[in-house]
Amino acid sequence: MFLYRRRVQFYETDAQGIVHHSNYFRYLEEARGELLRHLGHPYSLLRERGLEVVLLSAECEFLKPLAYDCEFEVLLELSHIDRYRFCFDYQLVSEGLLRARGRTKHCVVKEGKIVSIPPEIRGKLTEFFSGLCRR
């Protein structure tokens, strides 16, 4: 599991002082970006190679709200990978409580067409997550 830590900023909250639902998807994206950076494949290098990691679907279940200045962690796990697609599952945790959980599905695109996940990226993902993913 990959761990990404963060603190809620004031601008991310709504009139009730809690995180607006749209920001949860940003937290998931930040965690994915940090994972790829950690694995040596940041988005910037992928884009230099003409590759884009495309979001195919995203879902989030909101369980307990996050509020301004709250520290939280995003736990990210690879839940599926095949030749063309991969999925991540997420848990957002603060003060020992599960606040939200989500899932995203992705593919890799080059010149507007879906391509196989490059072997070095697929290898790094599967190696990091130690074969724990459900295929």
Residue 124, burial from CB neighbour count under 10 angstroms (0-12, 13-18, 19+): middle
How far, in Å, CA of 133 to CA of 131, rounded? 5
Q: What angle do CA 34, 90, 110 make, to 5 degrees?
A: 55
Which residues are catalytic, by number?
14
Beta-sheet strands, E only, within 63-115? 71-81, 85-94, 97-110, 113-115
2 token code pair: 């990959």
Sign of CA dihedral 121, 123, 129, 131: positive
